Structure 1
Amino acid sequence: MSKVRRFVRQVLTIARRDFVATVFTPVFLLFLFAPVVIGSFSLIGGLGASAAANSGSDRVRVVAIVPDALARPIAEADTRLRGAFKDAGDAPPELTTLHPENNTAGQARRTFTAHDFEAAAVLSGPLDHPRILYTANAARSARYLELLAQTTLAAQQLGGALPRVATVRELVQVPRPSAGTRNQSAFFAVFGVFFLTLFLAGQVVGTMAEERNNKVIEVLAAAVPLEAVFGGKLIGMFGVAVLFVGFWATVIGRVTSLLPPSFAHGLAELTPAVGGGSFALLFCAYFAMAYLLLGSVFLGIGAQASTMREIQMLSLPITLVQVGMFALATAAASHPGSGLATFAQVFPLSSPFAMAGRAASSPELWPHLLALGWQALWVAIFIAVGARLFRRGVLQSGSARPFWRRQRPIDTGVS
């Protein structure tokens, strides 16, 4: 058997051992369903925050102090203008009309202290010279009242109502995605890789702790090269990550099939530049490379820790590294073709994120072949460096020759 085949078998043996030891445990079920727990708490918190926000926003109003003759026209203009807003969250607060008193200016200021509602902006005076008062965070509502006054005044000058236009609307399918759509696709690609690696890659930090505590690492190091141990553990944990992602991808796929057609149409607009099939393959490849790159670095760093407390202290720097790579790749996706984008695509730890974004925004395929080879090279480098640091710093056995330069033991025939 050749040295390479023997090394591969050793790596796969370690990977199978770690995969079985991780998956076939009750704790893995908690890990598998952790998104349900996190999502449940997030949903509860979001509902509470939404209820608190809506309880205050329901009382907010924009107020128009106008004569009774203008109350109906300004309400009709308000209804017409609100039809231009996409949803209720984008629309200004509801309109309330008040009958003017003798001192209109004083009435407008007293409106902000009313008990029935909370005034964000108040319009008073004639429509051609209105006076608008507004609070510090309600400049948008003030501009809406100005537009409302203009629309109502125009309707009055045209005889009481604005002319209605018989509009013909036709949906146009753009054959090529626009620059804005490509940037959105690139961002979602970067975020997808980041989200998966953020949740999964940090798990490899503590894989060496148990081996060190129960002295199994000495047995493994004597039986197989440390490079095989590191590589096998990394591949084993990657298999766990693939199982996790596959399970939740199946669940999410079933759920999204029940969503309305408008949601599917919105997703269809985010067409990647390389095509749907090629992008799916590249996304999986870059997720794998991002996991292996970050995992190999985290595995080498975590192997230096001797206690669980040290491993827990490493969680913050690990998270900061992942967030930093995400920020760098996001900036690169927003400025394709720039020097920053080139740096993010070449730097090993950010390369998978940035290249996933490039797959969504640029149709060329050949750079991805170079990028995947470049990233695989750095995975091998990080594993070799991590194994050497572990050998010299923890096992204190000095530097050993790489596995491909080691001599096979000579069989003397003596038993």
Structure 2
Amino acid sequence: MSRLIRQTLTIARRDFIATVMTPMFLVFLLAPLLFASFGAIGGIGAATVGKSAEDKVRIYAIATPADARRLRTADALIRPSIPRDSGPPTLAIVAPDANPAVQARALLSDPDVDVPAVLYGPLDRPQLIHASLVSTTAPYLAGLAEQAVRDQRANLGDARLSTPVFTRIERDSTSLGGKKAAGFFAVVTLFVVTLMLAGQAVGTMAEERSNKVIEVLAAAVPLESVFLGKLLGMFGVAVLFLAFWAAVGANIGRLLPPQLVSGLTDIAPAIGFPGFLLLYILYFAMAYMLLGSVFLTVGAQASTPREIQMLTLPITIFQMAMFGFAFAAISRPGSWIALAAEVFPFSSPFAMAARAATSGEWWPHIAALAWQLLWVAITIVIGARLFRRGVLQSAGPKFRWFRRG
């Protein structure tokens, strides 16, 4: 056993040094920065387009000066209670002309401004015209008219009758929304990082097969040691990658706006941050080992880049299915879908990471980690046997259930 461990660690150290001590590793290490730059450029462009579009969207009310004052008072009362992203456009009020119905249609068809709805007529019998069947701007204008008529009949005027005092109180327990947000964060980050980092194993195995290095290694050490050593070496590369970006993220977090930081504090796992961080690292290791062992098996069977692409695509689609499976488990905790996602080995790391965010129990995680580790061993053994039988054309050792005396 000590010799097997020593051989495995030798292969792992060889692959780790061969990957890290190259100029291309620096490019790989900074790849997320490039992706983030592209995303930031796209986001800034989309925000600019959206802002320019918002400036040209408004709802109109054709009203007399007295009704206009009441509508503005009602708008100032109701609008703050609606989220800004989903709230109605800016309210514009114009004086009526000789024919308010024709005037309203002209405003609705304005080519320079996007007008989803127009109100005209007396406020107790308002007339509303709109262009979209699903727009909420027409009901909003109707609500403004209703509030304005109520204020008029109650003779309230423009003064507020109450002075609200807002006090923010820290919760004693994690909110349900915060738990689900932590679960979604765990699943998404695990999936993206695992898929991005584990894909390197395919090219590594195929490259060494093409230049006959894998056959030399297979002649020197057991194939199981080769597969496990390569998996540990690439896992070390993944850990170095994550440690680098975790350090960068911890320092960048100090530069974030206070509003964003306060929003992130609402995301809290049910099991607590120290336990969640530990389980997140363990489930990342299991997810990487499971996916990396499958990619190693695929890379061992492929001899050309074309074959790698053809074999990797079904695995990626399968991983996307596991990603959706874990998302369904988050949305329906305690259901049979959640139980199936937690038991199935390739979706288990994602689903159990989400469970750590939504449930405070520890014993299911101990059982899940043991179950996933068993499947890592099974996948490595199957990959080594497939390589031995399919590529090296060697039957290798066989299982014997009964021995003759």
TM-score norm. by structure 1 comes to: 0.92
Q: Alignment partner for residue 115 of structure 2, among 110, 119, 128?
A: 119
* SS of residue in 1 equivalent to 2:256: coil
Whether 2:154 is the aligned partner of 1:158: answer yes
Post-superposition shift, 1:188?
A: 1.8
**Contact kept? 1:127, 1:153, Cα under 8 Å:** yes
Could you say which residue in structure 2 is the equivalent of 1:382? 379
Deviations 1:20-59 (A, max 9, x none): 1111101111111011111111222222223223322311
Could you say which residue in structure 2 is the equivalent of 1:407? none
Q: Distance in 1 between matches of 2:133 and 2:200?
A: 44
Q: Distance in 2 between matches of 1:37 and 1:185?
A: 26
Could you say which residue in structure 2 is the equivalent of 1:210? 207
* SS of residue in 2 equivalent to 1:64: strand
Post-superposition shift, 1:393?
A: 0.6
Whether 2:326 is the aligned partner of 1:329: answer yes
Whether 2:185 is the aligned partner of 1:185: answer no
**Contact kept? 2:298, 2:312, Cα under 8 Å:** no
The answer to which of 199-208 and 258-267 deviates more is 258-267
The residue identity in structure 2 corresponding to 1:399 is: G
Root mean square deviation of aligned Cα: 1.7
**Contact kept? 1:120, 1:138, Cα under 8 Å:** no
Q: Please, which runs of 5 or more residues in structure 1 have no aligned partner?
A: 403-415
* SS of residue in 2 equivalent to 1:63: strand
Could you say which residue in structure 1 is the equivalent of 2:402? none
Q: Distance in 2 between matches of 1:108 and 1:257?
A: 51
Deviations 1:139-183 (A, max 9, x none): 211121111112222222233225331223222322122333322
Distance 1:245 1:289, change over 3 A: same
Q: Distance in 2 between matches of 1:45 and 1:187?
A: 23
Matches within 5 A, 1:85-234: 85-87=82-84, 89-136=85-132, 139-159=135-155, 160-161=157-158, 163-234=160-231
Q: Distance in 2 between matches of 1:82 and 1:348?
A: 49
**Contact kept? 1:121, 1:138, Cα under 8 Å:** no
* SS of residue in 2 equivalent to 1:381: helix
* SS of residue in 2 equivalent to 1:222: helix
Whether 2:300 is the aligned partner of 1:291: answer no
**Contact kept? 2:298, 2:308, Cα under 8 Å:** no
Matches within 5 A, 1:31-50: 31-50=28-47
The residue identity in structure 2 corresponding to 1:65 is: I
Q: Distance in 2 between matches of 1:115 and 1:217?
A: 69
**Contact kept? 1:329, 1:350, Cα under 8 Å:** yes
The answer to which of 124-133 and 263-272 deviates more is 263-272
* SS of residue in 2 equivalent to 1:273: coil
Q: Please, which runs of 5 or more residues in structure 2 have no aligned partner?
A: 400-405
Q: Alignment partner for residue 241 of structure 2, among 241, 244, 259?
A: 244
* SS of residue in 1 equivalent to 2:301: coil
TM-score norm. by structure 2 comes to: 0.94
* SS of residue in 2 equivalent to 1:96: strand
Q: Alignment partner for residue 27 of structure 1, among 24, 27, 33?
A: 24
Distance 1:259 1:42, change over 3 A: closer
Post-superposition shift, 1:138?
A: 5.6
Matches within 5 A, 1:255-274: 255-274=252-271
Distance 1:269 1:48, change over 3 A: closer
**Contact kept? 2:295, 2:312, Cα under 8 Å:** no
Aligned length: 398
Q: Distance in 2 between matches of 1:136 and 1:82?
A: 21
The residue identity in structure 1 corresponding to 2:375 is: W
Q: Distance in 2 between matches of 1:287 and 1:140?
A: 44
The residue identity in structure 2 corresponding to 1:251 is: V
